[in-house]
Structure formats: structure tokens, C-alpha cells
Amino acid sequence: MHYRQYALPTTHHEVTPARPLALHSGRLRVSTISTTLSMAAGRCPPRPCKQPKKEARGYPMYAVIKTGGKQYRVATGEKLKIEQIPADIGQEITLDQVLAVGEGDQIVIGAPLLTTAVVTATILAHGRHDKVRIFKMRRRKHYQKRQGHRQNYTEIQIGTITA
């Protein structure tokens, strides 16, 4: 057998992940090998499983809100960590900066805000995110600076969305 010819196994059990097919040049790619091996074994390549259609699953009402300089896509019952809000735990707040509201295939987009839409949320907790470590260095200059930062957050649970 010439060194550029490859013998394919007759069954799929001859090649396992623990003992891969030895290739001497880069002519065959991994996807070609796996397809060729499965067809040599008399099997068709695996097909991706079918996902149910989006209409069949049904989507709850959602909104795109703006708070703390960021935008979030929220739905009823979701928990979310946003920038810190000065409010007590258990207090219900209203988020009136709503950019869009959607339900199923219907969507209403504001220009830039929807004036009638309101999202209510309950404050669950206040806390601080994990530490972000900042390390600055200038090579060959004997300069190293270490710094850390923990951002405060407020965890909320979305209550109702009214359009």
C-alpha cells in the first residue's frame, strides 16, 4: 500500500475515539472521514433533531426596557440584575422607560420610548458583583499597578408588563 492511500474500515467499530485513524497527510478532513466511515458502515450521517415550530411553543409577552444606561429584554417572572437602584427590598417599582413591547409575532416599537407602556418589578436583593481585577504593567520600566473593582447591583423580579 502506498503511503498516500488509506484503507477505510469495513465496520464502524474498527475506528474509535480512543484509536483514531492515522493520517499521513492533510488530504482528508475530519468531517470527510466521519461521513466516509459512516457511509462505509452502511449508515447515513446523523441528522439534527427537529425543533418544534416557534408558533407552536407560544411566546409570553416581553418588553425591552432601559435602566442604568443599559437595555434589557424582560418577560413576566424573570429575575434580573440591574445597576443599583436606591429602594428597599420588597418594594415594587415601575420602569417607565420601555423601548418596545412584543407578544408572539406582534411588536410595538417606540420612537424612542413607548409613553403608555409600563413594567412593574419587585426588588429582591442588593449586592455586589464578583471582583474585576485590573493589572497594568509597563515592561522593562519597573511599573506594575494592581487594582480591583466590585460593581453594586439590584436584583429585581419582573411582575407585570402593560402596553
Domains of the chain: which residue ranges? 1-47, 54-162
pLDDT band at 55 (very low <50, low <70, confident <90, very high): very low
Mean pLDDT to the nearest integer, 81-97: 96
Q: How far apart are CA 123 and CA 152, in angstroms?
A: 14
Q: Smallest Cα–Cα separation from 73: which of 34, 134, 42, 119?
A: 119
In this model, does residue 8 exceed pLDDT 60? no
**Across the chain, which distance is largest between two alpha carbons, in Å?**
79
| 156 grid coordinates | 429585581
In this model, does residue 54 exceed pLDDT 60? no
Name every residue whose Cβ is closer than 8 Å to that of residue 26 and which is 6 or more positions away in sequence.
none
Tens of pLDDT, residues 15-27: 444 444 454 444 5
pLDDT band at 163 (very low <50, low <70, confident <90, very high): confident
Residue-level pLDDT at 136: 97
pTM of the model: 0.61
Q: How far apart are CA 144 and CA 138, in angstroms?
A: 7
Residue-level pLDDT at 59: 73
Mean pLDDT to the nearest integer, 123-136: 97
Q: How far apart are CA 74 and CA 148, in angstroms?
A: 31
